Each structure stands twice: as C-alpha cells, then as structure tokens.
Chains A and B, each alone.
Chain A
Amino acid sequence: MAKQQFELLTETMFYVLMAFLNGEKCGIEIADYIAEVTKGRVSVGPGTLYTILGKYEKAGYIIETKVAGRKRTYALSPIGKEAYQTEVRRLKQVLEDVERMG
C-alpha cells in the first residue's frame, strides 16, 4: 500500500520512526535505540541515517526541536505518527494473512 510521501518504508526507515515514539532523539540515540530494540539484528549506517532523517524532515514526519553545538535533536510530528501507525496496521495485516494462510 503506498504511503503518504514514501512508496516504501524499509525496515530501517520504520525503526527510525519507532525510535521517536518515546521522545525526541538525536542521531546517535536513534542508532543505539535501533540496535537495542532489535538486539543487534538491525543496524543503521550513519550515512543512511542522515539521509533518512533528511527525507523525514522534508516530508514533515519529524521536526527539529533543538540544536546544541553539533547535535541536532528531532521529534515525531503528527504526520509522522500517522505514517508510523499506518505502517503498523499494514504489518499487522500481513502477519494476520501469514497466520491464516500458513
């Protein structure tokens, strides 16, 4: 199902959105969160993460909340939260289809 701004949310992109659920974060905090939540299964390269954050900021999914020296902190916007929840519903539907069909 096509997303509002993105045709596809890759696994990495999805976890980046998830990282903002419990508060604003900077780049390193996002990378650490993803590694912790996935128990090391998913790691995000810094270059990739920078690109994703740039795309999300442009799409309005996240907003910059603080700049302290080199560190920039972002938070999830209502549009971003909606995009996350849409993806969660899609993933749940996929899981239900798998469990039903085997």
Chain B
Amino acid sequence: MKRKFILKRVKVRQINAFEQYLNNMAKQGWLLKKMRWGLYFEKSLPQDLHYHVALDLGSSVVDPNLETVKSQEQKDFLVDFGYQYVCQSGVFQVYVGDDKQSLYNDEYVDSKALKRVLLKEMFSNDIYPLGLWLLLVIMTFLNKYQQLMILKNNALIFLYSFVAIVMIFIAGEILVTIKLLNNQELKLSDLKSKFNQKADIAVLLISGAIAIALLPIQLLLFGFLLIGLIYLGMFMINEVERQDPIKRFALMLIVSSIVLMTTALVLNGNVFIDDALSILIDYETKENIDIYELKGLDNYIKDLIIECNEVKDNKEIINGIEIYRNEDNITVAIKNNRVIVGELDEQTIVKELTEK
C-alpha cells in the first residue's frame, strides 16, 4: 500500500482551504488516514469525496492528542448522522460526508464555537510552545548550561537567531488569532487562509542546511538524538494509549525522564565537552604543553581552563602575560588569545607567548 507523509500543521483559520485540499487529494487517489505532526495519506482509486472538518470543543488544551470523552461524544453524534470518521488531531475532527452541505450553518451559534476553538488552539499550539522556547533561552543563561554556549560566534548567532525567528513567528501567529477573535461577527466563511503544503518543508530544509554548515557535528548528532527520542516517545504514547489522560501523563513523564537523563549524560560526559572544546578553540599538544588558540567567547573559555586546572587563586603578571600556578606545579599562562597549560618555566612561557 503506497503511503505519503506531508509535513504540515493545519490551523483553524485554514480549515476551508484544508477541506478543499483533501477533496483535491482524493481526486488524485490520496486518502487522508491520520494527522499527527503532519498528514498521512494512503494511495487509493481517485474518488470524488466531500471532506468535512469538525471543530472539537471537547479537545484537551494541554494534550491535543488525547481522545476526551467529549471528543468521543461528538464523534458518535456525527457518525450517527451518516458521516464517516477519518481522524482527529488537536481541535480538528475530519469526516467524509455524502454531500457538500456544511456541518455548520448558523452564523451566530457557530461564531461562538469558532472563537472557543481558536482560543484553545492558540494556547496549545502557540502560547505553550512559546513558553517552552522562552524557558530554553533563560536556561542558556544559567551557569549550569553555559558549557553548551562554548561555540564559535557564527554558530552561537545562528542558534539565537533561529530561536528568535521561531519566537517571532509564534508571536505573529498569536497576533493573527487575536485579530480573528476581535472580529465580533466572525464567521466560518471568513476563514480564508490558504493551505500551502510546501511552506513547512522549505523552512525545515533551509534551517537544516544552515545548521549543518555552522554547528559542530557533535551538537548536530546530539540534537538529532534528542528530536528522535522525543518523536519516538510521542509516537509510542499515541499508539499505546489515546483515551486515558492519567496513563498518557504517566507515559509522558517516563519519556521526559528518558530524554532528560540522556541530555544530562551527554552534557556531563567529559568526552563530549573535551571534543567540543578541541574543535571550537583550536587545541594542540606540543612537548607536554597544551596550547589553545581562543576564538568566540574567549573570556569564558579562559576562565574555564583556569578553573579546570584549579589554578585561579594564584596569579601574577609578567610582560603582559597572566600566569596562574597551582601546588602541583601546573601553570596556565595567557596572553591575548593564546593559552598554554603544563609544567612551564618562565623561559617556555615567554617563548611560546611572545614570539607568536
């Protein structure tokens, strides 16, 4: 059975265009089977179908894939009317009907329902993720996670720019929804937003290309591992349990714990940090002397090297060179962007740091 996956999120304001899109796909022989982080189609004979998207007032704001009791009641109600249930995701339930007649035909009643659904969607799709991104940005400024920020300037700029663009995009979505909500006489027929399946893929490809060009391979692999774990976890939860909120919450806790433990293991792993440092700050060993050419966040890396060698309390300055020693005769000597570490005498220090 041929299948197709379209990476595309559907928003409430696109439902009219989405219905038309599904009808067109059916005419080409592609029938929608499920919606989960995208659209899943199965190949069939071309058919002239009438898809209808119902607004699910009973959907959960916190857990969009939970099949609530109210969602099930609406499904039973519409199936009783002869509609064929296809799938559900978030605030949508998709059906196939015998004709084009709309599910909704009272503008006053439907306007209120529409606004409630728009609000639900705004909280679960926009405000909640925006909060998570903000939390991520705040966490990067905490000392504990500073090691993640030992990056070349351009990679750091990319990461922060990417996060900023995502947050601006989400803020834009929120503003569009607020504008719709402020329309006193909002009707379903007012929802004229187009449905473009290619837009999300283009954004993903461009972001991926820039990330591969700028980020160290270890961070990329770690990022893929995290995304893969989260996606696999959510996939398994939705396959195992969609109707019991307590079981779903317990499964999400387990998945979150696995993701956090993996993150902690990787971040605390000396191999990861040492490799990251060696790539990002040009590091070599010469005759038992470790030599660092610093780039990017130089002051932070200098402090890190001093701290790693436990020399910070013992400092002197000779010929503009900062020299730190410890009781085990390990010396860290710094001048401009060059740092040398080892059992160093003054002659070696001056030779390495003043002749370069």
Q: Which residues of A contact B (CB under 8 A)?
A: 8, 10, 12-13, 26-28, 31, 43-48, 50-52, 54-55, 69-72
Q: Is the CB of B104 within 8 A of A47?
A: yes
Contact partners of A12 in chain B: CB under 8 A: 105-106, 109
* B167 vs chain A, min Cβ distance (A): 34
The residue that A51 contacts in the complex, of B73, B76, B113, with Cβ under 8 A, is B113
Known: A51-B57, A51-B113, A54-B57. A46 touches B106 (CB 8 A): no
Residue on B nearest A50 in the bound complex, by CB: B77
Contact partners of A10 in chain B: CB under 8 A: 106, 108-109
Q: Is the CB of A48 within 8 A of B80?
A: no
* A91 vs chain B, min Cβ distance (A): 17
Q: Which residues of B contact A (CB under 8 A)?
A: 54-55, 57, 73-74, 76-81, 83, 101-106, 108-110, 112-113
Q: Is the CB of B77 within 8 A of A46?
A: yes
* B320 vs chain A, min Cβ distance (A): 77
Contact partners of A27 in chain B: CB under 8 A: 77, 80-81
Residue on A nearest B105 in the bound complex, by CB: A45
Q: Is the CB of A28 within 8 A of B80?
A: yes
Known: A12-B109, A51-B57. A45 touches B76 (CB 8 A): no
Residue on A nearest B102 in the bound complex, by CB: A45
Q: Is the CB of B108 within 8 A of A45?
A: no
The residue that A43 contacts in the complex, of B57, B81, B105, with Cβ under 8 A, is B105
Q: Is the CB of B73 within 8 A of A46?
A: no
Contact partners of B109 in chain A: CB under 8 A: 10, 12-13, 48, 51-52, 55
The residue that A48 contacts in the complex, of B57, B83, B103, with Cβ under 8 A, is B103
A to B contact number (C-beta, < 8 Å): 67
Known: A27-B80, A46-B83. A72 touches B57 (CB 8 A): no
In the bound complex, CA of A50 to CA of B110 (Å) = 10
* B69 vs chain A, min Cβ distance (A): 12
* B102 vs chain A, min Cβ distance (A): 6
Give 24 pairs: A residue, B residue, CB < 8 Å, sorted on A: A12-B105, A12-B106, A12-B109, A13-B106, A13-B109, A28-B80, A28-B81, A43-B101, A43-B105, A44-B105, A45-B101, A45-B106, A46-B77, A46-B83, A47-B55, A47-B103, A48-B105, A48-B109, A50-B78, A51-B112, A55-B109, A69-B76, A70-B79, A71-B76
* A38 vs chain B, min Cβ distance (A): 13
Residue on A nearest B83 in the bound complex, by CB: A46
In the bound complex, CA of A50 to CA of B113 (Å) = 11
Known: A10-B109, A54-B57. A48 touches B76 (CB 8 A): no
Contact partners of A26 in chain B: CB under 8 A: 80
* B47 vs chain A, min Cβ distance (A): 22
Q: Is the CB of A51 within 8 A of B110?
A: yes
* B92 vs chain A, min Cβ distance (A): 12
Contact partners of B83 in chain A: CB under 8 A: 46
Q: Is the CB of A72 within 8 A of B73?
A: yes
**Apart from the given pairs A50-B77, A51-B113, 17 other A-B contacts in the complex at a CB distance below 8 Å:** A10-B106, A10-B108, A10-B109, A12-B109, A13-B109, A31-B81, A43-B105, A45-B102, A46-B78, A46-B81, A46-B103, A47-B78, A47-B103, A47-B104, A47-B110, A48-B104, A52-B109
Q: Is the CB of A47 within 8 A of B54?
A: yes
Contact partners of A69 in chain B: CB under 8 A: 76
In the bound complex, CA of A27 to CA of B262 (Å) = 51
Contact partners of B80 in chain A: CB under 8 A: 26-28, 70-71
Contact partners of A44 in chain B: CB under 8 A: 105-106
A13, A31, A48, A69 — which one has the most chain B CB atoms within 10 A of its CB? A48
* B15 vs chain A, min Cβ distance (A): 11
Residue on A nearest B54 in the bound complex, by CB: A47
Contact partners of A46 in chain B: CB under 8 A: 77-78, 81, 83, 103
In the bound complex, CA of A26 to CA of B79 (Å) = 13
In the bound complex, CA of A94 to CA of B110 (Å) = 26
In the bound complex, CA of A43 to CA of B106 (Å) = 10
In the bound complex, CA of A8 to CA of B111 (Å) = 13
Which 5 A-B residue pairings sit nearest by Cβ, starting from the closest? Answer: A47-B103, A70-B76, A45-B105, A46-B81, A12-B106
Contact partners of B57 in chain A: CB under 8 A: 51, 54
